[in-house]
Amino acid sequence: MAAYADRIASAAIANAIASPMLPSRPATTSSPGAVLSASAFPPPRPAAASSSSEARRFDSSQRRFDTTSLPSAAPQSKAKPRPWTQDEDKALIQSMTDAPEDYVKAANAVGDRSNIQCRARWTDHLDPNLDKSPWRPEEEDAVLLVGLAEFQTRWAKARAHT
């Protein structure tokens, strides 16, 4: 039995020296007297496989570069920005008075606008709670000083409190 183990070990060492790659799994033998052969080791990879993967990486990075870096090659969006009409504004105001903060229903009521566009139009332009008066530095500074005294450097809490 010891002779068998010595024979397998010496064959494995000889094959390992001859082949630069190690076996991925141990070879199975059908009979106790069989010796490991070079066929038990996987063949070396061909050089073309690495070049094709490099080509694949280049193609994908080139495609990514083409679509993101160059403005002329970037895919154009289907809808171009257009100004809001008075009818759209009226429909948005009516929808927001019926169902406040429900921008999906507002988008359905307006028609050809997304819920994100409706939210932006409402919060930036049409909300009746917006203060559209001229900026008053004295009042604004007073509000900031009160928030700073109460909340120190926690600006989000100071803003929520005012």
For residue 10, which of 40, 36, 41, 48 has the smallest C-alpha distance? 36
Q: Among residues 49, 17, 51, which one has the least CA distance to residue 36?
A: 17
CB-CB contact of 34 with 41 (8 Å):
no
Q: For position 157, what pLDDT does the model report?
A: 80
Rounded average pLDDT per 10-residue block, the chain, 162 residues: 63 59 52 58 61 59 58 58 93 93 93 93 93 81 83 79 66
CB atoms within 10 A of CB 120: 13
pLDDT of residue 118: 94
The pTM score is: 0.43
**Ordered alpha helix ranges (H), the chain:** 2-18, 47-68, 86-98, 103-110, 115-121, 137-151, 155-161
The whole-number pLDDT of residue 32 equals 57
SS3 31: coil
